[in-house]
Each structure stands twice: as C-alpha cells, then as structure tokens.
Chains A and B, each alone.
Chain A
C-alpha cells in the first residue's frame, strides 16, 4: 500500500484526478486514502472541487445559462405502459414520433417549407460524455440537427432543464422540457444555426428543481458535409 510520504511527494491525488495512475497504483492509493486521515481530507476536497467544476460552477455566473429557449424539446409519452418493459421499444417509438410529429412540433427556429405537411427528423443518439469522447452528428433534412439524448436511466422529476453551449463558450440554447418516461430518450431539436457549420458543443441536462445540479453532460461535434 502506498504510504503517506509517497502520496504527497508524487502528487498522488492530482494524478488520481487526472486519471494518470495505472490500476495497481490506483488501488494502492485508494487503500491509502481510506486509511490516512490527512489524505482522506485531501480526497474529500478533491471530490468537491471536481464535482463542482463538473457541474459547470467554475464558470462565471450566467455563462452557459440563458432563457432564450431556442431549442425545441419533443415530449415522448407512449400510451401503453406495458411497452416500457423493453428498452428497445421506447427508442423505436421515439423515432416514429419524431418522424410523424415533426410538422406539428416545429416552431421558432425551424420553419417548414410551404406546402410540406410533414418531414422526417433524423435524431442522432448522444450518450453521457466520458474521457474526452464526443459523438459526431450530422444535420438531417432541412439542415436540422435533432438529438436523441440517452438519459442513462437517471431519475428526474416532471421536467428536465438543458443548456447547450458551443465550443467557444457561447450559449446556444437553454430551457426545460417534460421528462420522458423511463428508458426513453429526450428528443431535442436544435436551433437551425447549429446545423449550418461544423463545430463542437456541450449539452448538459439537469433536474429543474435542483437547478444547476448537472445530471449528465454530452459532448458532440456537428459535422456539416
């Protein structure tokens, strides 16, 4: 097991936070900080700092938050609860809903062409971000980017808050949407501007009542052909 002097001299907590430790050393350090009062205190400070930063709190107040509501969330409410026993069915139903209700749901940034009664949305699935990975999504019909946000089984109340921030830090959209049923994705149609140029984005979703408690973060890159 790592001793205290080793932990201090090698900046073990910093390497642990930065995920630079091989598995054996990681386990050795964990065994140490569970037993060492001083390193346990350091670990608790580290987890608060990291969680706070992960929730976006290290950004100046107001950055990443706006009330423009430029994105459109498409609620998903399948009629038959028995279908929820399958993970696949809510996703399939969500895709059908996106295809069928596109015209009725579209407002604001997306204006259907005159004479077109309906058109298909082609949602791209995004999953919670991890280790620098980002999904690559392409605009669908009309240059519209629609996301099927995998909530990963996270529990929400009646509504979900979301913030979409571009790579340069500019807030693109914020708002709230009715929480989908268990297992179903949140369908989010992004402002038309998102589908015009290739760029990086960060989407965060959180419980509306716990306003800034980030439940999940999604990173994706829009690739315009």
Chain B
C-alpha cells in the first residue's frame, strides 16, 4: 500500500533542529503539530487552547534540545515531545484564567474544527484532501460525513447500516486506507 513518507529521527536531524535549520524546523512543527492536533482535541475545548499548547510544547522541546537535555537518543524525540505536551496540558488545566479544567459536564472539544496550522490549513493540501475525499465511494463519503461532520450517534449509524460496532471500525479503516491511496496518488501524479 502506498504511504506518506515515514520519518525516522537521527542525530543529524536533531543537530539541524538545534542549529535552527528552517526546513528541519518546518518539518518538525508540521509533523508533531499534526500528531498533537489529533491528541489535544479530546483534551482542550478551544482552538486557541490547542494552539497555545502546541506552541508552548514546541518552545519547550527546542529549548531543551539546545540545552542538550531531555532527549537521550534521537529515536526518543517523539516520546519526549509527547511527554512535554502532556506536561503543558496539565499546566493548562491548572492555570486559572486562560483555561477551563475538564469537568464531568464540560463542553467537549469540537473535534470538527481544523486546527490553524494542521495540514488542512495549507491551501494546496486542502485541495488535495478535498480531492481525495471526493474520490471515495459515496458510501464511505456518507459515513465520514455522518461521523465527523454531522456528529451522528454511532450506535444509530450502526443500526442504519445494519452493522455492529466492530464492523463500523472496519468501515472506517477501509475509508482511511482508500483516502490514503487517493491522497498519495496525487503526490505521484505531481512528480
């Protein structure tokens, strides 16, 4: 199956990051920005809080790297970013004025908001994402729309489709794989 480029972090990458190489910094913020976008939307309620948390995480990680502390091996960079991000989120929960702690009845984050600097915000890639989505079969487009645009109840979706929750995951899995193929295919056509 075609995939997006994978990234293994090595010593040279860290050195470029510490030296402030613009391309490496761009890659770093984009790569981990996407991962944090996915992670933070279930924890923070507003886009502004998510952006604050991401920027604070980037700043702390880069500061630590420049002080030669925090990351013992290049392979541990991802774990370190995740750990710093967790700390930032806990601090945001605790701070009074800028944040709202999660409570039982809290108004959960609207996961349907694209974050500002996620891949979706870039105009060219936005079109690629849209094209890839529109290339999916109608049934998969409907499913994704029900789940993520309309926010329909998942049990109701299962009843409507006459499937169980296990099979709903399989349907999402297939849609994701087909989306990936369509997205990567555009890369191939551009080359």
Contacts and interface: CB of A to CB of B under 8 A. Distances in A.
A202 B149 contact: yes
B4 to A, nearest CB: 5
Contacts of B78: 34-36, 40
B59 interface: no
A41 B170 contact: no
Interface in B155-186: 165, 168-170, 172-173, 175-176, 179-180, 183
A19 interface: yes
Given A11-B169, A19-B42, A40-B31, A130 B82 contact: no
B144 A49 contact: yes
A57 B134 contact: yes
Interface string A25-38: 01000110111111
A217 B111 CA distance: 10
B150 A49 contact: no
Which of B108, B112, B129, B168 has the most C-beta atoms of chain A within 10 angstroms of its own C-beta?
B112
A45 B46 contact: no
A157 interface: no
Contacts of B126: 213
Contacts of A44: 4, 31, 34-35, 119
A54 interface: yes
A136 interface: no
Nearest to A42: B176
Contacts of A56: 145, 149
Interface stretch (A58-66, A90-98, A170-178): A58-66
A20 B113 contact: no
Contact of A34 (B46, B82, B175): B82
Interface in A205-222: 212-217, 219
A107 interface: no
Interface size class of A (residues with CB under 8 A): 35 or more
Contacts of A216: 110, 112-113
B119 to A, nearest CB: 5
A58 B118 contact: no
Contact of A49 (B107, B109, B169, B176): B176
B149 A53 contact: yes
Contacts of B153: 132
B62 to A, nearest CB: 16
A153 B48 CA distance: 8
A47 B4 CA distance: 13
B4 A214 contact: no
B149 A58 contact: yes
Nearest to B180: A45
B94 interface: no
B1 to A, nearest CB: 11
Given A132-B152, A132-B153, 20 more contacts: A11-B169, A18-B168, A44-B31, A44-B34, A49-B175, A51-B120, A52-B129, A52-B130, A53-B133, A57-B130, A128-B107, A129-B110, A129-B112, A130-B110, A131-B108, A202-B149, A213-B114, A213-B126, A215-B47, A217-B149
24 contacts: A15-B169, A18-B147, A18-B169, A19-B42, A20-B165, A30-B39, A31-B82, A33-B35, A34-B82, A41-B6, A47-B118, A48-B129, A48-B179, A49-B133, A50-B148, A52-B129, A56-B149, A58-B133, A58-B136, A58-B149, A59-B145, A213-B121, A213-B126, A216-B112
